[in-house]
Every structure is written in C-alpha cells, then in structure tokens.
Homo-oligomer: A and B are copies of this chain.
Amino acid sequence: MAKKVTCIEGGICAPKGFLSAAVGCGIKDPKVKRLDLGLIYSEAPTVGWAVYTQNEVCAAPVRLSSSYLKSHPPRAIIVNSGNANACTGHQGMLDARTMADSTANSLGILRREVQVCSTGIIGVPLPMDRIEREIAPLGQSLKADGDDIARAVMTSDTQPKSVAAEFKIGRKKVRIGAVAKGAGMINPHMATMLCFVTTDANISQAEVKAATNEAVAQSFNRISVDGDMSTNDTVIVMANGQAENDRIVRSGNGSGDFREALTQVMLHLAKMIVADGERVTKLVEVKVTGAASRLDAERVARAVGNSKLVKCSWNGNDPNWGRVIHAVGYSGARVKEEMVEIHFDGVIACQNGLAAKTNIDELSAAVKKDEFTVCINLNIGKGSYSLFTSDLSPEYVEFNREEYALNRKS
C-alpha cells in the first residue's frame, strides 16, 4: 500500500455500516455443508457501481444484476458458490430473480437494490429448494464480521482473500474493505473471479462509477491466468457515506486519494488471485516499455503472458528469452527485432535482439524465484503496460482434465 493508505483488519466489514453473513446449504453436494451462500448489506443507503464479464455467454445472475444496476445502486449482494447458474436458460433467470426477491424481502429493501452473484459449475440448474429457505435466516444473522463471507465465495481457492485499508480525506478516516475469489488456473471448476468492495466514503454516484472503472482497468484487467474469460466475472463497489467526509466528486478534494486506495485494494486482491493455489508456482509481472503505443505494449504483455510455451519455461525455472521474443514477434505490436531488450528480474537475457553475454546460472537464479519480473523494452517509443501472470504447470492440466463427467455422475 502507498504511504497514505494503511492496511487494517476486518475485510468488507471494516468500513462503517456494512454487515455480512454466510451459511452452508450443500449447493454442490447436499451431504457437504461447507459455507456456500453469503450476504453483504449496507445499513445505510448507498451509491455504487459494478463491472461484469464481457463474455457474450453470461450467467443469469450477471444478466439480472446488470439490469438492476441501470436503475438502482447496489445495497446488498447475495452470492453462492458451487454452481454458476450459467447456461441454465429461462429457469436460471427465474432462480436468480427468486434469490433477489427473497433477499429484498428479508432486508426490507427493493429487489433492484440486490445484486445476485453465482460461481461454480456451468449448465446445471441451481438447487433452489436448498438455497431459498436459507435466505431469510441469513438476513437475520447479519453481523459486522467479514470472515465467513470470504470463505463462502471460495471454490477451489486454497485460502480466503480479503483486505481492508484506511486513509484520510480531510480530517475524516475513510475505509475500504474487499473480498475476492479466484479464477481460471487456480480453479479447475471453470468458475469465476468475484470481488465485492465496501466503503464508508461519502462519494458521488458519478465519481464511484469512474473510480471503479479505473481501478478495475488497473487491477483485475491486468491479470491473466489462463487467458480464459468466465461467464460470471463480477466486481461490485458499494459506498454508504458513513465516514462523513466531504463528498468526493470528480476531480474534487479526495478524489485522487480515493481512486488510489481503491486501485491498491483491488490490485492487492488481483495479485492474490494469481498467486493462489498449489498448481501455480510463480507470480510473474510482465512489464513492457518502449512500445510505439500503450496498446502495443499491452499486446506484447498479453502475448507473452498467455503463451503456453513461455509459461511452461517459467514452470521449469528456464530463462528462455527466445520464447519470450518469439511471442513479442507475433503479438501484433510494431517491433524492431534488433532493438529488443529482455531482463529476467533485473538480469539481462537479450540485448539488441541477441543473447546477452550473461552467465546462464545467473539467469536461471532469476527465474527460480517464486515472484519475478520479466521486463521487455522495445526501445522504439514510450508506450508501457504491465500484466500479472503465472506459470503453467503439469498439475494445472491434471486438475482440469475431467470436471464435467465427474459432476454429472455424482
């Protein structure tokens, strides 16, 4: 966190006026009662914004929630793990709507103030009998404790992911709390990246929307695990004004601080998502500089960060700059081969497009680390971009081999 922002305890219930609860209803398997249904609620009215997957095939809860967002800011989030309620047709929409209705009834708010999120297997209807009866009790058991909800959203995440931060706007302390679950590589069940952010900042609707879009672009849109985009990805930000700071408006006092803190909170969770899971052994930052444009820099970072051959070499601690430069070459960016420079964690591997005269053991040591940086300087312009990604392990493939048939047989 930057100097002005302090990490604190409490997760999504660190900001004033936010409550949460979670319960186990055996969504995936009635015999296993792990926490799989959660609720987040702001006691006071809110402003807020959400960003959803751009996948054309999107889940029923995403369709429902995005339609609600158009008219009402989110004040409560009902979320389940174990089943994505995706590719479930008309019944899926009815089920998502029932989840919103029950939640609204339980809290005495409007249905359209509820955001519904689901994560888990695709193409299987929700077990609504088990879910619906748990929602009213959930509304009764709300408390200012974010631990259970952080567990309830997990699918194959190996650990809960939450963070909270505090900073000052004028003389008022403002807090941001957040919880997330991971996706893709760390998740053999094709589930989703979810992130819910709460803040007690007093902020305008326009500014919370702009800040959310900016922070997502700088964090969750800058991670790549396996290049796949889920049907359910959702980031929701709710702000309830309980910190009583002077209202933050666009380009006004505190706007820069709020955006920076929000970005840092999301980036912190984004990196946790990439690093999580025993099947990932490396967190790698691909930093591209000297590109003809920012877009070209992003093209290079994504081509390198998504290349199966590059990711395999990282898994083997192999400083294979040849594979990196070949991905640079097919990225679609303007490249002058004889200008390209590649460093592995500060150790030069390639200069002027040629092998640098670095000792191989020094290079190998650089990529042996759990976290390292690959810097690629194209040396032709000022465009830059950085992406957080991971290696590709044999275990990733093993864990992703046979989900569907197993689930249909169970």
Please report A residues at the B interface, Cβ cutoff 8 Å.
54-58, 86-89, 121-124, 184, 190, 226-231, 306-309, 312-313, 315-323, 325-331, 333-335, 337-338, 340, 350, 352-355, 360, 363-364, 392-398, 400-406, 408-409
Contact = CB atoms under 8 A, between A and B. Distances in A.
A184 B330 CA distance: 14
A393 B397 contact: yes
B338 A404 contact: no
Contacts of A323: 122, 190, 404
B309 A190 contact: yes
Contacts of A327: 228
A262 to B, nearest CB: 26
A405 B318 contact: yes
A60 to B, nearest CB: 10
A400 B322 contact: no
Contacts of A404: 313, 318-323
Q: Which of A226, A321, A404, A405 has the most CB of B within 10 A?
A: A404
Contacts of A402: 313, 316-318
A56 B337 CA distance: 7
A353 B87 contact: yes
A56 B121 CA distance: 40
Contact of A326 (B230, B337, B352): B230
Given A123-B354, A394-B397, A329 B403 contact: no
Contacts of A363: 405
13 contacts: A55-B326, A87-B325, A88-B354, A122-B326, A190-B326, A228-B308, A230-B326, A316-B400, A317-B402, A318-B402, A360-B409, A394-B397, A396-B397
